[in-house]
Amino acid sequence: MMAPSVLVVEDEEPLRILLRYNLEAEGFDVRTVADGDEVETMVDERRPELILLDWMLPGLSGLEVCRRIRSKKDTRDIPIIMLTARGEETERVRGLATGADDYVVKPFSVPELIARVHSVLRRANPDVLAQTLEAGDIVLDCLRQRATRKDRDLNLSPTEFRLLEHLMRSPGRVFTRDQLLDTVWGQDSFVDDRTVDVHVGRLRKILNRGRDRDPIRTVRGTGYSFDERFGAKC
């Protein structure tokens, strides 16, 4: 399956970098643009599956960009999530009235934003995101948040589920403990590197019984990855 494409429209460079980094880690194909005037050209070049659209932009405002995208037949259905600053309550309402599918208030937590992206994408186009991840005898049903191995219900906690889903969405990719903390736990939570090790340990205990092969690879000095040779596909 081709990676779903996300267009990030944001003039603050650190935020643009943060969004690109985290969306790419989720397996999205990410393009970014800083100026409202350039959005239509980018959208015409390649139709994104989703647009993250900042409210206050140089050139056309996010609101105007949203209006234009909604007014054209070819782009009308592209899901849009607005990024607004705190305190822009009235603007937020206007943003939704203009046709944004959802909005996120800055500063936002990355896991929260990723969850919104997934949920808006699922609503708009159920085929674009794999709802079920399968690798060998492990199956994740992402809609029902249910995980099984050889038909054995794994009863994962929400965090364990997010951790396994995150690893399984990018088989073979090595994530550092910091990256996992950012995307699975978010910056707000009171956790440290040990937390990741503890949860991976717990996840392994639940996943692997008897002679089961361990699908999670420890990369010494770096972090963890889901073994791509385990038969992962998504």
* Segment near Ca ion (CB under 5 A); pick from 39-47, 48-56, 172-180, 204-212: 48-56
The residue (of 56 and 124) whose beta carbon lies closer to Ca ion is: 56
Residue 88 touching Ca ion (CB under 5 A): no
Q: What minimum distance in Å lies between the beta carbon of 9 and Ca ion?
A: 9
Question: Which listed residue (36, 49, 51, 54) binds Ca ion by CB under 5 A?
Answer: 54
* Segment near Ca ion (CB under 5 A); pick from 43-51, 54-62, 171-179, 218-226: 54-62
CA distance linking residue 132 with residue 120, whole number of Å:
17
3-state secondary structure of 72: coil
Residue 18 touching Ca ion (CB under 5 A): no
The residue (of 83 and 110) whose beta carbon lies closer to Ca ion is: 83
Cβ neighbours around 102 below 10 Å, total: 15
Q: What minimum distance in Å lies between the beta carbon of 39 and Ca ion?
A: 13
Q: How many helices (H) and strands (E) does the chain have?
A: 8, 13
DSSP β-bridge partners for residue 33: 9
Question: Which listed residue (3, 18, 42, 56) binds Ca ion by CB under 5 A?
Answer: 56
For the chain, the straight-line distance linking the first and the last C-alpha, in angstroms and rounded, comes to 7
Long-range contacts of residues 181-185, Cβ cutoff 8 Å, at least 24 apart: 182/22, 182/110, 183/22, 183/25, 183/26, 183/110, 183/111, 183/114, 184/111, 184/159, 185/111, 185/159
CA distance linking residue 231 with residue 222, whole number of Å:
23
Residue of this chain nearest to Ca ion (CB atom) = 56
3-state secondary structure of 108: coil
Residue 11 touching Ca ion (CB under 5 A): yes
Q: What minimum distance in Å lies between the beta carbon of 15 and Ca ion?
A: 8
* Segment near Ca ion (CB under 5 A); pick from 24-32, 49-57, 136-144, 213-221: 49-57
* Segment near Ca ion (CB under 5 A); pick from 5-13, 131-139, 166-174, 181-189: 5-13
Chain residues binding Ca ion by CB under 5 A are: 11, 54, 56
